Amino acid sequence: SLSDRITGSFKQLRGKGRLSEADVDGTIREIRRALLEADVALPVVRQFTASVREKSVSALSSQALNPAQQVIKIVNDELVEVLGGDTRELNFASRPPTVIMLAGLQGAGKTTLAGKLGLWLREQDNKVLLVASDLQRPNAVNQLQIVGERAGVDVWAPEPGNGVGDPVQVARSGVEHGRQNHYNVVIVDTAGRLGVDEEMMEQARNIRDAVNPNETLFVLDAMIGQDAVQTSIAFRDGVGFTGVVLSKLDGDARGGAALSVRGVTGVPVLFASTGEKLEDFERFHADRMASRILDMGDVLTLIEQAQKAYDEKEAEDLAEKMAEGTFTLNDFLAQLQQVRKMGSMKKMLGMMPGMGQFRDQLENFDEREIDRVEAIIRSMTPQERRDPKILNGSRRLRIAKGSGSTVQEVNSLMDRFEKAKTMMQHMSKTGGGAPGMGSLP
């Protein structure tokens, strides 16, 4: 992967006390190869490596204390710059509704994004309307209705009178409906093809001209590989867009597409989609993406997700209980549910620093383990959960039967719980670690 390669060449640099220009060139070659393999567009790679080389060589001549560290910083800063620096806000219309049009290939994640963005905006007190202007696929309207329902936002679907069979007319009537009914934001979902074609572009252009969007968001599947550049250029020239949303960033693709699309079109990436659920959505942060590419772990995103899932009060209570050693199985259960809320375990661990090398092991991590643990705790009485010391042989047998597990599994859970409790007590005394991290089963 891109990050492994860059990390690998860094390791070589780290091993040396002093660096020569030839060392820097060796690393630049590695980075170049890695970027190309990660499907970053050639012009972007050229510009990137040239700039990194220039800055690195001048860092060498400045006799810096730790040149390798400096090169790492230079690469990181350059990645942040190419990725677009600070994220800008969405452009809102001075007079509502703000119209956001979605464009992109079929399967890129437009309809899913309509729901994610709808939910995100609704949570910020916007009244949101989704407009179903994809009439290409038989199920597309229905899919948007389901997504809208999940997001808790309204959906404008084609019906007799508002443009059955005519996506442009549906878009126009949808925005008009939004205006008359005081929606703040109208999100127009559009059709895509598997490949770029002129008919689709024309339809998108016609919708654009009919609704005059404040933002046209180009949704790009981060897994698309080398086609990212060509597709981005086709949409830039065919419809034009003001922002990019990278979808499927939860997969293996770790930045190639992000670098390419921003590097080639100059249009900023505004959001990142990281899963199939509506909550798997966040602002795009160039600095975090750069770190992620460098395999340093997306710690900030992790913390943000954790904060979202945690009720702050609950977290405080937990911290107190940990410190006092009064953490019970009930708390443990509540914590497991928080962990589940935070999203898939694998995804979470994958974002932690240094976990890149454990990716294979993560593949074997069984999330059903949480289900098992939950079943066992749920089979205990409230008294047992508060005071596990009373768990004698017959109680353990009853719990095992009740939860469909074995006595050994119950015993093993209790052992791990005691260990976790001790560890957390220790952690909270030394002040390290977020609540919850120490008790994964």
Least separation in angstroms between CB 238 and ligand GDP? 16
250 labelled ligand-binding: yes
Kindly state whether residue 260 participates in binding ligand GDP, applying the rule CB under 6 A. no
Looking at the Cβ atoms of 100 and 377, the one nearer to ligand GDP is 100
Angstrom distance (rounded) from CA 88 to CA 117:
15
Looking at the Cβ atoms of 118 and 275, the one nearer to ligand GDP is 275
Looking at the Cβ atoms of 365 and 378, the one nearer to ligand GDP is 365
Angstrom distance (rounded) from CA 290 to CA 255:
8
By the 8 A CB rule, do 35 and 45 touch?
yes
Q: Of 152-160, 178-186, 272-280, 327-335, which part binds ligand GDP (CB under 6 A)? A: 272-280
Least separation in angstroms between CB 112 and Mg ion? 8
111 labelled ligand-binding: yes
By the 8 A CB rule, do 151 and 115 touch?
yes
Residue from 108, 119, 211, 351 touching ligand GDP (CB under 6 A): that is 108
Chosen from Mg ion, ligand GDP, none, partner binding at 331 (C-beta under 5 to 8 Å by type): none
Q: How far is CA 285 from CA 272, 290, 303, 304, in A?
A: 9, 9, 14, 12
Kindly state whether residue 243 participates in binding ligand GDP, applying the rule CB under 6 A. no
Angstrom distance (rounded) from CA 355 to CA 375:
29
Looking at the Cβ atoms of 173 and 274, the one nearer to ligand GDP is 274
By the 8 A CB rule, do 406 and 400 touch?
yes
> Quick one: DSSP state of residue 91?
P
Residue from 250, 282, 384, 409 touching ligand GDP (CB under 6 A): that is 250
Least separation in angstroms between CB 157 and Mg ion? 13
98 labelled ligand-binding: no
Closest-by-Cβ residue to Mg ion is 111
Looking at the Cβ atoms of 109 and 436, the one nearer to ligand GDP is 109
Peptide bond into 97 cis (omega under 30): yes
Least separation in angstroms between CB 390 and ligand GDP? 45
End-to-end CA distance of the chain: 30
25 labelled ligand-binding: no
Contacts for 112-115: CB closer than 8 Å, 24+ residues apart: 112/147, 112/247, 112/273, 112/276, 112/278, 113/217, 113/219, 113/245, 113/247, 113/271, 113/273, 113/281, 114/144, 114/147, 114/148, 114/187, 114/189, 115/144, 115/147, 115/148, 115/150, 115/151, 115/153, 115/278
Least separation in angstroms between CB 208 and ligand GDP? 17
Residue from 49, 133, 242, 247 touching ligand GDP (CB under 6 A): that is 247
| 185-190 and 281-283 beta bridge pairing | unpaired
Angstrom distance (rounded) from CA 305 to CA 271:
15
Q: Of 47-55, 110-118, 287-295, 345-353, which part binds ligand GDP (CB under 6 A)? A: 110-118
Q: Of 26-34, 84-92, 275-283, 365-373, which part binds ligand GDP (CB under 6 A)? A: 275-283
Q: How many residues belong to the site for ligand GDP (CB under 6 A)?
A: 17
Nearest to 81, CA basis, from 265, 263, 267, 273: 263
The number of angstroms, rounded, from the C-alpha of 286 to the middle of its chain's C-alpha atoms is 13
Residues lying near Mg ion in the complex (CB under 5 A): 110-111
In the numeric block, which tokens belong to residue 434?
A: 């977020």
Kindly state whether residue 248 participates in binding ligand GDP, applying the rule CB under 6 A. yes
Least separation in angstroms between CB 14 and ligand GDP? 34
Angstrom distance (rounded) from CA 296 to CA 390:
45
249 labelled ligand-binding: yes
Residues of this chain that bind ligand GDP (CB under 6 A): 104, 106-112, 192, 247-248, 250, 273-276, 280
Which positions make up the binding site for GTP? 104-111, 189-193, 247-250
